[in-house]
Amino acid sequence: MKLHIYEHCPFCIKAQMIFGLKGLPVTFHVLLNDDVTTPTEMVGKKMVPILEKDDGKYMPESMDIVHFIDSLDGQPWITQRQNKLLNQWFSDVAEVVHKLVIPRNPQIAFQEFATQAARDYFTVAKTQMIGDFSEHLERSKSYLAVLNPALRQLEPWIESERAVNGELSIDDFQLFSMLRTLSVVKGVEYPAKVEAYRQRMAELTELPLWDEKAL
């Protein structure tokens, strides 16, 4: 199987996670960010991730892919258990996370930004979404002053470094994908249990963190 992705994309991270967790072979194929044609030919519009199955059929939507792969062996691991407090936390921090992460993404050596045209495409599209990148980068300290205390709120909710709710659940796909995207941001302070969780999940999913690339 082949999974078509962008490296920076949190939805793609979710789809990638399940292959590492279950030790299943897959080829990751990174599309250029300005490549509209390829995904449109696959699923009718520009989006990722897209799973290309062995039978040549395509499947979009990150969690659909996750549940499909999880069920292949007839022994699915992922529970539907969700922590309502954690889900509210995701909503509360989403805006500040976007303003910290998105302006940094095209400056990182991600394969989807291998050309200037791809970087420009991303910048134009996301500027319309969040505003001027340079202004957000200048405000990083104020955003971190909001985010870092919020990360401390996670501590009592992390039941295990292997699974936030004690057993692998859909919350793990949301939480680790966010924490991995945040690893491009210098100055993020991870409390002890959060740090243990993100390091262990990076190992289990075979998706290294980007701390060394952080800006």
Looking at the structure, tell me whether residues 48 and 145 fall in a common domain.
no
Go through 58-79 and write b for each residue having 16 or more CB atoms within 10 A of its CB, e for each that does not.
Answer: ebbbbbebbeebbeeeeeeebe
Share of the chain above pLDDT 70, in %: 100
Looking at the structure, tell me whether residues 180 and 130 fall in a common domain.
yes
d(CA 83, CA 104): 30
Whether the predicted pLDDT of 108 surpasses 90: yes
The helix (run of H) or strand (run of E) holding residue 150 is helix 140-152
User: Would you state the pLDDT for residue 149?
Assistant: 98
Asked whether the beta carbons of 17 and 171 are under 8 A apart, the reply is no
Looking at the structure, tell me whether residues 51 and 94 fall in a common domain.
no
Please report, for residues 104, 132, 215, the alpha-carbon distance to residue 137 in angstroms, rounded to integers and kept in the order given.
8, 9, 10
Share of the chain above pLDDT 90, in %: 99
State the DSSP code for 169.
Answer: B
d(CA 93, CA 97): 6
Looking at the structure, tell me whether residues 99 and 10 fall in a common domain.
no
Looking at the structure, tell me whether residues 29 and 99 fall in a common domain.
no
CATH code at position 189: 1.20.1050.10
Looking at the structure, tell me whether residues 90 and 187 fall in a common domain.
yes
Residue 76 in domain: no
Whether the predicted pLDDT of 196 surpasses 90: yes
Residue 79 in domain: no
Average pLDDT, the chain: 97
Query: What integer is the mean pLDDT of 184-205?
Result: 98
The helix (run of H) or strand (run of E) holding residue 17 is helix 10-22
CATH code at position 8: 3.40.30.10
> The pTM is what?
0.97
Amino acid identity, residue 69? I
Q: What region does 56 belong to: left with phi over 0, alpha with psi -120 to 50, or beta?
A: left
d(CA 23, CA 18): 8
Q: Which residue has the tokens 């998706």?
A: 207
Q: Which of 35, 64, 26 is nearest to 170 (CA)?
A: 64
Residue 29 in domain: yes
Query: What integer is the mean pLDDT of 171-192?
Result: 98
User: Would you state the pLDDT for residue 80?
Assistant: 84
Looking at the structure, tell me whether residues 188 and 111 fall in a common domain.
yes
Residue 181 in domain: yes
Looking at the structure, tell me whether residues 30 and 133 fall in a common domain.
no
Looking at the structure, tell me whether residues 64 and 88 fall in a common domain.
no
pLDDT of 60-73, one tens digit each?
999 999 999 999 99
What is the extent of the structural domain holding 22?
A: 2-71
Query: What integer is the mean pLDDT of 165-194?
Result: 98
Q: Which residue has the tokens 């050309």?
A: 115
Looking at the structure, tell me whether residues 126 and 167 fall in a common domain.
yes
Asked whether the beta carbons of 176 and 72 are under 8 A apart, the reply is no
Residue 77 in domain: no
Looking at the structure, tell me whether residues 91 and 175 fall in a common domain.
yes
pLDDT range class, residue 81, cuts 50, 70, 90:
confident
Q: What's the domain count of the chain?
A: 2
Looking at the structure, tell me whether residues 99 and 178 fall in a common domain.
yes
Query: What integer is the mean pLDDT of 145-167?
Result: 97
pLDDT of 40-62, one tens digit each?
999 999 999 999 999 999 999 99
